[in-house]
Structure 1
Amino acid sequence: MSDDTSPDPEPGAIPPPQPPREGGPQETPPAEGGTSFTGPDESHNPGRGWAKAPLAALFVVVLLVALFFAFYGLELSRS
């Protein structure tokens, strides 16, 4: 393979790194106000945990599922 197919045509022609620029505040972009508008007010959400009705319904469903598996296990152990 010859040097003519190298992706870098002149490997020795790399320019030296530039020193860091000393910039003043006029070169700094303005800060963004990221929290100026975070979305609409959510005043419709309840402030305290779950309501009693959904929590009771969930408890009943869990209890029914647990009873189903308990009785199913008893039927399997009898046979």
Structure 2
Amino acid sequence: MDPAPEETPDLEAGGGVAPGDTPPDTPQTSGLSHEQPDRTKHFPAGGVGAFLGVGLLVIAMIAIIIGLIVMVF
């Protein structure tokens, strides 16, 4: 909703606004519609599980590669 025209400041010559005469506030249509949850500094459990899973896969692949190298020699 825009302010009433009688409350809108006039422009000076050259398009400037008079000192101390600021434009009125208008409602914002952008931004958050509800409050965001606080951030935590804890690493999520799903992330820990993913790191452990990838770590186990890497260890298994290294063991397989070493086993193949040992079989060749």
Same fold, TM-score > 0.5, yes or no: no
Higher relative contact order (CA 8 A, sep 6+): 2
TM bucket (normalised to shorter chain) is 0.3 to 0.5
Tell me the TM-score normalized by structure 1.
0.42
**Structure-2-length-normalised TM-score:** 0.45
